[in-house]
């Protein structure tokens, strides 16, 4: 599958949304009165960055699987490549947490935001922490709180490769469609944060991306998309506008996720067309593509670095108010996160990805 810079740019948008939400919105708090509270409320939709990540992941992963579904080493190559991508950074951060939690520093009150509330270690090791988070009603230690979405992705990787390998495109679209329709109702029926972290409650984002991957590989549909850019842009704007309207009138967030998933599908479909338009130029810009390539490290590291910086300098977890020092500490933490992500991408992620890409899918005899 040819690498399309615009898809990296969409990944860049997703991580920027996540960074704004965790670095600005949550430390201020949307219930805070005054101008800072207004800022947090205005940026409140930045939580949608995870939804965009899910749509893009569903699209890319399902496309790779479909293109190689006949390979004799289909499962071995897929899981070797995914493990090389996900495991090193993830288990490095997990090991760092366990080591830090065993030191006396973990008992200093300034670091409590990072380490308190941890759920069982085995759940992180097995990518099942999202299930326990939903059952317990909290995200665990903030050091690892963001990893719930990685667990959802890993659970997606257990199911979808099997489905793609053995089912026809028609059956896949039908089953994925049922799961997409069911997801908002499952969210409405699920109490607490389970509606946000359980994989069946997030199926609409992941599987809508998967459906798009299957559909764009039908030439007639791909051609229709190429000549309907304006329609897609209108659909994208309509979904975002409806999402804002639903939020303003107090409609449950369960429906907002579905609208954001549909908006993500439109954006990914547009990005998949590549360059040649103003939107393609923006999505393929060096700025967004650069953030996209660093996105995994940024996602895993940013809460850790923010917590350490605020604990060391201010003696508490991340909080933003009217003090300039608080904002300066957050900015310094963000800069340090960028440097760490650059180093991680260059010396850890990139070499392993290069090695993994050398593991080729073997075609069946006579397969083109």
**Is the CB of residue 329 less than 8 Å from the CB of residue 316?**
no
pLDDT in tens, 151-179: 999 999 999 999 999 999 999 999 999 99
Which pLDDT value is given to residue 366?
57
Question: Coil, helix or strand for 325?
Answer: helix
Stretch 269-282: mean pLDDT: 91
Length of the chain: 368
- Neighbouring C-alpha atoms within 13 Å toward the C-beta of 203: 17
**Is the CB of residue 320 less than 8 Å from the CB of residue 327?**
yes
**Is the CB of residue 243 less than 8 Å from the CB of residue 260?**
yes
- Residues 75-114 as b/e (b if ≥16 CB within 10 A, e otherwise) read eebbeebbebebebbbeebbeebeebbeeeebeeebbbbb
pLDDT in tens, 31-81: 888 888 989 988 888 989 999 999 999 999 999 999 999 999 999 999 999
**Burial environment of residue 166 by CB neighbours within 10 A (0 to 12, 13 to 18, 19 or more):** exposed
**Is the CB of residue 146 less than 8 Å from the CB of residue 300?**
yes
Residues 6+ apart with CB under 8 A from 143: 93, 97, 100, 114, 115, 303, 304, 307
CA 366 to chain centre: 38
Which pLDDT value is given to residue 314?
95
pLDDT in tens, 84-142: 999 999 999 999 999 999 999 999 999 999 999 879 999 999 999 999 999 999 999 99
Q: Which of 261, 349, 242 is nearest to 53 (CA)?
A: 261
Which pLDDT value is given to residue 155?
98
| 262 pLDDT higher than 70 | yes
């Amino acid at each position: 599958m040819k690498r399309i810079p615009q898809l990296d740019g969409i990944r860049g948008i997703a991580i920027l949304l996540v960074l704004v939400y965790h670095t600005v919105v949550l430390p201020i708090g949307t219930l805070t009165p005054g101008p800072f509270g207004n800022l947090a409320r205005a940026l409140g939709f930045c939580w949608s960055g995870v939804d965009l990540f899910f749509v893009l992941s569903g699209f890319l992963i399902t496309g790779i699987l479909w293109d190689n579904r006949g390979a004799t080493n289909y499962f071995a190559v897929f899981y070797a490549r995914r493990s090389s991508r996900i495991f090193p950074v993830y288990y490095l951060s997990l090991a760092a947490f366990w080591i830090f939690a065993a030191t006396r520093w973990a008992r200093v009150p300034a670091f409590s935001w990072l380490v308190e509330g941890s759920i069982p270690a085995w759940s992180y090791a097995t990518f099942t922490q999202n299930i326990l988070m939903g059952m317990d009603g909290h995200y665990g230690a903030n050091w690892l709180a963001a990893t719930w979405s990685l667990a959802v992705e890993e659970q997606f990787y257990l199911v979808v490769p099997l489905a793609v390998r053995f089912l026809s495109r028609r059956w896949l679209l039908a089953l994925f469609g049922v799961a997409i329709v069911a997801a908002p109702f499952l969210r409405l029926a699920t109490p607490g944060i389970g509606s946000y972290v359980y994989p069946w409650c997030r199926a609409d984002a992941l599987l809508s991306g998967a459906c798009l991957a299957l559909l764009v590989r039908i030439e007639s549909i791909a051609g229709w998309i190429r000549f309907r850019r304006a329609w897609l842009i209108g659909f994208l704007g309509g979904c975002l506008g409806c999402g804002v309207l639903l939020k303003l009138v107090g409609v449950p967030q369960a429906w907002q996720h579905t609208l954001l998933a549909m908006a993500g599908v439109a954006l990914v479909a547009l990005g998949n067309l590549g360059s040649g338009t103003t939107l393609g130029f923006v999505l393929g810009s060096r700025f967004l593509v650069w953030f996209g390539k660093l996105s995994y490290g940024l996602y895993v590291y940013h809460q850790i670095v923010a917590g350490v910086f605020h604990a060391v300098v201010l003696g508490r977890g991340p909080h933003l108010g009217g003090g300039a020092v608080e904002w300066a500490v957050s900015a310094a933490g963000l800069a340090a996160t960028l440097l760490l992500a650059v180093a991680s991408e260059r010396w850890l992620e990139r070499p392993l990805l290069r090695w993994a890409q050398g593991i080729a899918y073997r075609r069946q005899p006579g397969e083109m």
